[in-house]
Amino acid sequence: MKTFDQYTMQDPRTQYPLPKAKPDASQPEPGLDKLLKPKADHGEASYRGSNRLAGRKALITGGDSGIGRAVAIAFAREGADVVITYMPSEEEDGQETIKQIKDDGHKALAISGDITDENFCKKLVAKAIAELGSLDILVNNAGKQQYVEEFQDITTEQFQKTFATNVFAMFWISQAAVPHMPAGSSIINTTSIQSYQPSAGLLDYASTKGAITAFTKSLAKMLVKQGIRVNAVAPGPIWTPLQQSGGQPPEKLEHFGEKVPLGRPGQPAEVAPAFVFLASQESSYITAEVIGVTGGQHLP
């Protein structure tokens, strides 16, 4: 993919081309960035940091590809030390993210495992803190999304797995992390436009995103007395491996994201700055909020 300068004023409708994906470009779950066609932009060549997160310590789930990779790169370039986690089957993508960060001269660590396992979630937080020395930014980003056309075809196994990945893991990881997070810390959850405008075929995924939105607002009110802010980012149609690995039906991939007002899907690099803002002290008066990055498909 051609690199686009995010710092030069330009028409947002044409800042990135439409990623025309052929139906046969689908790949198995979980999706891998190395198999994504066409490639996504995670800010590898375009994101320029300005020391906004200097000295901060961040844990990012699902940091191997897509939005998670873009956030990891952005955080590191803003001066944060970063730990990412991902499924063992995503090892190659995860190591590519770590290489990108280390090549930039920043500290990064990868921990692979299954966040649907409560014990792993607890060990993940403990290991991240042991490696970083502390923890003051938590990004609950990892997600599962599988498109199923007919309601009766959604299996109990899929429904439970989607909730375990998207909701239970967020609860377990947050609960393990909060006792170690000082005042001024920030928790940022990845929700979705699906929380507000659910699509047919994404019933279980949309339901989890609704839960994440409510969880974010409630947790923010619980943790305000500790000086910890909790917010969320709600992406719209963003071009990531999640879409090609069952998140969308193959016949819809070619026109993915074209119906939003900006007329195209977003790139992970366009989502990461919202996370940087919510992690930084610039957003000190913002908690219990959701920032939409939706291409104009606005939140209510």
Q: Which residues are catalytic?
A: 205
C-alpha torsion angle, residues 279, 283, 284, 286 (rounded to 10): -110
What letter represents residue 6's amino acid? Q
Distance (Å, whole) CA 186 – CA 35: 33
Nearest CA-CA partner of 190 in 292, 59, 72 = 292
- Tokens, residue 264: 């195209």
DSSP the chain: -----TTS---TTSSS------GGG--PSSP-GGG-SSPPP-STTT----STTTT-EEEEETTTSHHHHHHHHHHHHTT-EEEEEE-GGGHHHHHHHHHHHHHTT--EEEEE--TTSHHHHHHHHHHHHHHHS---EEEE--------SSGGG--HHHHHHHHIIIIIHHHHHHHHHGGGPPTT-EEEEE--GGGTSPPTT-HHHHHHHHHHHHHHHHHHHHHGGGT-EEEEEEE-SB-SHHIIIIIS-HHHHTTTTTTSTTSS-B-HHHHHHHHHHHHSGGGTT--S-EEEESTT----
